[in-house]
């Protein structure tokens, strides 16, 4: 579904990604973790072309992301993305947040889009809030709306960029529950997250990054039981203390 092949990226002389290669198969859940500044968010943003990269290739469902001829808008319209800071559109009601791209990008008619949007809003347990504005919801609720907004586009895969990092601890689980459910339904997912509990429960594979390189890329069992690199061992030791 997603293949990342020898991708490198630099800002001027600063190397952000070095020779990153990995893949995500259909129906697979891959968690990307690593210390801050290790390039994991950059890598996931390269997948739908939000960040350009200089070397290497990324293919999503057979389409090359970096190729100049690629219609990035079309590609992105079926690659769902969820952001750290939710990024709902604050001047629109929840309903309009859910329907905007369906109408403008997929050219669905308004009623169909609203029906679809409300269906997913119901699935994340927020149907009663359709008429509200994002600012009137809690962080956890906003993030669930953001997931519903992405799902309403019928994505072939979902990218999560630290979806719980900006949340109060008590709201993290409501978001992780939605993500877990999604994974169990077979959605292809690439998640940048520090939630190792989620990784243990849900992920098929774990990628560990450090200094712009993919240091480990292993099944979750192998990763948690026996990380090969010293850097990953240190990281796990620090993160799992709690």
**Binding-site ranges for another protein (CB under 8 A):** 45, 48, 50, 72-74, 76-81, 83-85, 87-91, 100-101, 104-106, 132-137, 149-150, 153
What does residue 22 show for φ and ψ, rounded to 5 degrees?
-170, -175
Within 8 A by CB and 6+ apart from 181, the residues are none
CB of 153 to another protein, least distance (A): 7
Cβ-based nearer residue to another protein, 51 or 177: 51
Cβ-based nearer residue to another protein, 136 or 233: 136
Cβ-based nearer residue to another protein, 55 or 87: 87
CB of 144 to another protein, least distance (A): 15
CB of 140 to another protein, least distance (A): 15
Label residue 205 left, alpha or beta by phi (over 0 means left) and psi (-120 to 50 means alpha).
Answer: beta
CB of 77 to another protein, least distance (A): 3
Cβ-based nearer residue to another protein, 153 or 232: 153
d(CA 21, CA 80): 21
For residue 111, count CB atoms less than 10 angstroms from its CB and return exposed for 0-12, middle for 13-18, buried for 19 or more.
exposed
């Amino acid at each position: 579904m997603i293949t990342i092949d020898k991708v490198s990226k630099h800002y001027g002389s600063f190397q952000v990604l070095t020779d990153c290669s990995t893949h995500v198969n259909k129906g697979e859940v891959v968690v990307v973790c690593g210390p801050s500044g290790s390039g994991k968010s950059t890598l996931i943003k390269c997948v739908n072309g939000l960040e350009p990269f200089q070397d290497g290739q990324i293919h999503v469902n057979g389409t090359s992301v970096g190729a100049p001829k690629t219609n990035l808008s079309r590609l992105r319209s079926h690659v769902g993305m969820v952001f750290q800071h939710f990024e709902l559109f604050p001047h629109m009601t929840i309903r309009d947040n859910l329907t905007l791209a369906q109408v403008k990008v997929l050219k669905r008619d308004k009623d169909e889009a609203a029906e679809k949007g409300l269906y997913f809003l119901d699935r994340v347990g927020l149907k009663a809030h359709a008429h509200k504005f994002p600012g009137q919801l809690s962080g956890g609720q906003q993030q669930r709306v953001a997931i519903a907004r992405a799902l309403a586009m019928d994505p072939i895969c979902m990218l999560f960029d630290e979806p719980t990092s900006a949340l109060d601890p008590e709201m993290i689980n409501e978001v992780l529950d939605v993500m877990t459910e999604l994974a169990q339904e077979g959605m292809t997912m690439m998640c940048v997250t520090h939630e190792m509990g989620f990784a243990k429960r849900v992920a098929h594979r774990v990628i560990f990054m450090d200094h712009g390189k993919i240091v480990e890329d292993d099944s979750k069992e192998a990763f948690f039981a026996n990380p090969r690199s010293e850097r990953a061992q240190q990281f796990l030791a620090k993160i799992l203390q709690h």
